DNA sequence: TTTAATTTTCAATATATTTTGAAACTTCAG
DNA sequence: CTGAAGTTTCAAAATATATTGAAAATTAAA
């Protein structure tokens, strides 16, 4: 496979993959494009490469910056803004994990904590079963939270040689 | 908070949470409903509870069965089909991990393997950088795959006391 | 069988999400 | 300042996704 073809394949697949995980297709594609681009790109470059509108590029680029996956780059002597993506995949992964944890896992755990405390007879089978399900989901959430923290701190270890190495 | 209110809150939040992860809202709500239901339910029960159509219930229930999260239950003396959800949250989590791994992670790793082999000059900076990005993503994917396998095998250990305990 | 109950399918419809593009805004070189 | 280059916004349009509901298919009781 030729490089150009491979790049396009990657960009389109990364987009499709993203949608399965609740990420906007274009956002994933812009990210992919920047990942495999050797130099920083302007919004016009991305419009051209992905055949999308200016507004679309702009919105998704800002979203990616919000996720901490893309940075603005100043190119001296240039009026236009350039953008670049973090190329270290481990950093990309930890950044995504951190953000999703903050945006989704943490609020869910908070909610479950509230639902744990039901008014009424604690001996009631209905109440018991509900509380039991909610508590175990919260417990799982807390555990995932803890484990992800370890993983984030573990940095390269997890990536290169599995978390097992940490305990050897 | 009253039990009924809490159940509804849980169902609606679980639905919202699901959409963030690329899961159909109704599917997540049906799953939530079955999770907090003490007895198996019929499709009519679910239509009623969630105010949705028969077709919608039917499609999503089958999808949930496909994910291995819901089972058909035979109630003797009853013509209608009943449905129930696995209540052990650890099993639910492993099941979801298994399925997503199979449906999404494995195909992605396969694709990355194909993209690694670029025709042309291996000394070319462009080719090198592309291959480097693709390989590191594949490596991360393989590592995640391995770690998830360990987690799936670990069963209760991971859930109850963190994976750390396994190495103590 | 026959037929009533139940489940499944899927084209049409409704809803949600994404994308466009032009106007408004901002920035900075002259 | 002024205005051209560049960026942002957001209502409208396009697209993608989910839902409905009634007809077709299946099941099992009579």
Percent residues over pLDDT 90 in chain B: 86
The overall longest dimension of chain A from CA atoms, in Å, is: 73
B43 touches strand D (CB under 7 A): no
pLDDT confidence tier of residue B127, bands split at 50, 70 and 90: very high
Nearest 5°: the CA angle B53, B50, A106 is 130
pLDDT of A167 above 90: no
Phi, psi of B17 (to 5 degrees): -60, -45
Per-residue pLDDT at B156: 65
Tens digit of pLDDT for each residue in B39-79? 999 999 999 999 999 999 999 999 999 999 999 999 999 99
Interface A-B, measured as beta-carbon pairs within 8 A, has a size of 133
Q: Averaged over A26-31, what is the pLDDT?
A: 98
> Any CB–CB contact under 8 A between A16 and chain B?
no
Tens digit of pLDDT for each residue in A33-42? 999 999 999 9
Per-residue pLDDT at B37: 97
Bridge partner list, B52: none
Per-residue pLDDT at A153: 87
* Strand C nucleotides where any atom sits below 7 Å of a protein CB: 5-11, 17-23, 28-29
Per-residue pLDDT at B105: 96
Per-residue pLDDT at A128: 96
Per-residue pLDDT at A39: 96
Question: Cβ B93–A159 below 8 Å, yes or no?
Answer: no
pLDDT of B157 above 80: no
Distance of alpha carbon A151 from alpha carbon B31, whole angstroms:
29
Question: Cβ B119–A2 below 8 Å, yes or no?
Answer: yes
> Any CB–CB contact under 8 A between A115 and chain B?
yes
Select from A21, A9, A6 the least CA-distant residue to A96. A21
> Any CB–CB contact under 8 A between A128 and chain B?
no
Percent residues over pLDDT 70 in chain B: 93
pLDDT of A129 above 60: yes
User: CA-nearest residue of chain A to B158?
Assistant: A143
pTM for this entry: 0.93
Question: Cβ B159–A139 below 8 Å, yes or no?
Answer: yes
Select from B127, B107, B105 the least CA-distant residue to B117. B127
pLDDT confidence tier of residue A160, bands split at 50, 70 and 90: low
Distance of alpha carbon B80 from alpha carbon A125, whole angstroms:
26
Map residue A110 onto helix, strand or coil: helix
pLDDT of B166 above 80: no
pLDDT confidence tier of residue B130, bands split at 50, 70 and 90: very high
Select from A152, A153, A157, A159 the least CA-distant residue to A167. A157
Of chain B residues 23-52, which have a CB less than 8 A from chain A?
35-36, 38
Q: Averaged over B30-35, what is the pLDDT?
A: 98
């Amino acid at each position: 496979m030729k490089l150009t073809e491979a790049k396009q394949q990657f960009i389109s697949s990364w987009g499709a993959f993203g949608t399965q995980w609740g990420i906007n297709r274009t956002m994933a594609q812009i990210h992919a494009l920047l990942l495999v681009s050797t130099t920083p790109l302007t919004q016009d470059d991305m419009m051209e490469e992905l055949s999308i509108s200016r507004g679309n590029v702009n919105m998704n680029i800002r979203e990616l910056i919000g996720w901490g996956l893309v940075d603005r780059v100043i190119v001296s002597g240039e009026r236009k803004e350039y953008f670049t993506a973090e190329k270290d995949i481990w950093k990309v992964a930890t950044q995504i994990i951190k953000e999703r944890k903050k945006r989704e896992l943490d609020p869910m755990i908070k909610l479950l904590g509230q639902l744990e405390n039901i008014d009424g007879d604690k001996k009631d089978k209905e109440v018991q079963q509900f509380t039991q399900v909610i508590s175990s989901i919260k417990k799982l959430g807390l555990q995932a939270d803890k484990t992800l923290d370890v993983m984030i701190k573990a940095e390269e270890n997890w990536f290169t040689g599995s978390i097992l190495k940490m305990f050897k």
